[in-house]
Amino acid sequence: MIENQSENIENKENDVSDQDNAPEDTSLPEDQVIENDKLSSQKTEEINTEDLKNTISNNDARLEQLEKEHETLKNQYVRISADFDNFRKRQSRDQDDLKIQLVAKSLTAILPIVDNFERARQQLKPESEEAQALHRSYQGLYKQLVEVLKQQGVAPMRVVGQQFDPNLHEAVLREPSEEFKEDFIVEELQRGYHLEGKVLRHALVKVSMGPGKQNSQEEVEKDTVDIDSEENTSQDV
């Protein structure tokens, strides 16, 4: 009897010890777990949204920087292209000017020969048949020379009756003229020439002083006569 009681007591102690050693139930309620998952998911979404915003902001800043760099490079390209185009045009213009200068230098040396041909043509008056044949031969050479000058772009000036222009003409003489107004060309002493629109040689000309000077001289003489006549009349009185 006593032994049975002691065994019961031991069994109770063992049960108590087993209950003490048994792990506590730490499981959370299902609602709490769902709520925690929602909070975790929400935090993750907020983090992802913030990262996305930062990424978009960085991309926008980078895009703006690239656009500025593109605009800068574009302006540099346009400026360089314009400079090169101006350089090419300037080079072409300089080459044309150099070509005209070289041609002008050569043609200027030929112009005195043309002058001599023209003087000879004005002075020669062939009478015999032999002289006329020689004259025709001379005229043929002169025409060939003039044709070569035309092919090179040389054109003679027409100056008689034109107003004097120091850019085109060189005045050698001035004389009164009843036919031409003042500063108009009366006579061509040496022919001038153009080359491609530019002056190859200035024309030597005689310029009119106009009739004004003669008229003024006559008026002075008339006034002198009138004064003298008035003096004489007063003395007679």
Domain extent, residue 132, equals: 110-152
With a cut of 70, list the residues of the chain below it in pLDDT.
1-43, 45-46, 212-237
Of 120, 152, 184, which closes a domain?
Answer: 152
Residue among 211, 205, 162 at smallest CA distance from 182: 211
Instruction: Let me know whether 189 and 129 are in one domain.
Output: no
Let me know: does 129 contact 149? Beta carbons within 8 Å. Answer: no
> For position 202, what pLDDT does the model report?
93
> For position 15, what pLDDT does the model report?
53
Number of domains in the chain: 2
Instruction: Classify 237 as helix, strand or coil.
Output: coil
Kindly report the number of other CB atoms within 10 A of residue 58's CB atom: 10
The 10s digit of each residue's pLDDT in 9-27 is: 555 555 545 544 444 444 4
pTM exceeds 0.75 for this model:
no
User: 């005045």: which residue's tokens?
Assistant: 171
Let me know: does 215 contact 177? Beta carbons within 8 Å. Answer: no
Q: At 163, which CATH number?
A: 2.30.22.10
> For position 118, what pLDDT does the model report?
83
In whole angstroms, what separates CA 172 from the centre of its chain? 40
> For position 233, what pLDDT does the model report?
38
